[in-house]
């Protein structure tokens, strides 16, 4: 694609995509990176939420096991002291 030349009172200026678009390449890159950061943050939050849910289930399971063991322990102690 050939660049057009625009004449003005200050001289000639080449018409390029940089001159035609209000957004610079740096701004576009920053905007794209911000979008990627948002996606990464969302993914990280989803993973953390999933892991926290799994951790909550694991804690609940361990509490149930502990309660069961404590109940069995009390039954054994009662049976031991009866004899």
- Tens digit of pLDDT for each residue in 6-59? 555 555 555 555 555 566 777 777 777 777 888 888 889 999 999 999 999 999
Regarding predicted confidence, which is higher, 3 or 78? 78
Rounded to an integer, what distance in angstroms lies between the CA atom of residue 42 and that of residue 36?
10
Confidence at residue 66, expressed as pLDDT on a 0 to 100 scale: 96
Give me 70's structure tokens.
């404590």
Strands 11-15, 4-8: pairing is antiparallel
Q: By the 8 A CB rule, do 2 and 13 touch?
A: no
Confidence at residue 64, expressed as pLDDT on a 0 to 100 scale: 95
The CA–CA distances, whole Å, from 58 to 63, 68, 70 equal 9, 15, 18
Regarding predicted confidence, which is higher, 73 or 7? 73
């Amino acid at each position: 694609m050939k660049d057009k030349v625009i004449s003005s009172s200050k001289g000639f200026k080449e018409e390029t995509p940089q001159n035609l678009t209000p957004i610079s390449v740096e701004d576009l890159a920053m905007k794209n990176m911000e979008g990627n950061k948002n996606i990464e943050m969302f993914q990280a939050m989803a993973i953390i939420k999933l892991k926290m849910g799994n951790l909550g289930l694991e804690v609940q399971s361990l509490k149930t096991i502990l309660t069961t063991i404590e109940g069995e322990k009390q039954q054994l102690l009662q049976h031991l002291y009866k004899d």
